[in-house]
Amino acid sequence: MSEERSHCDNPGCFCRGIGPQATAFAGHLWSKATGDHFRNSRIEFLKGLRSLIDDRIDRLSHNAEPKGTSVPVD
């Protein structure tokens, strides 16, 4: 049993260990260029998630009440 398999064998894992095995098997079916496209698509998907999180953090940061007190100086 591979390390990936034991990692995915927990009850909360959706793929139940099939994901890493399917990816390894499929890698033998298509070319390196095709594999590169799929790898790049995973990277772009994660970048999209990061962008959503960054936007949400930015909105929450701008809506926060200002900290401190404004004091007029003579």
pLDDT of residue 27: 66
Could you report the per-residue pLDDT of 18-60, keeping only the tens digit for each? Answer: 767 777 776 677 888 988 898 899 999 999 999 999 999 999 8
Q: Residue 10 has which token pair?
A: 């927990």
Domain residue limits, the chain: 1-30, 31-62
What are the pLDDT digits (tens) for 1-27?
Answer: 444 444 555 666 666 667 677 777 766
Residue length of the chain: 74
Q: Which of 17, 13, 23 is nearest to 4 (CA)?
A: 17
Calpha distance 40→28 (Å, rounded): 18
Distance of CA 22 to the CA centre of its chain: 20
pLDDT of residue 3: 46
Ramachandran region of residue 68, left (φ > 0), alpha (ψ -120 to 50) or beta? left
What pLDDT, on a 0 to 100 scale, did the predictor assign at position 43? 94
| Residue 52 amino acid letter | L
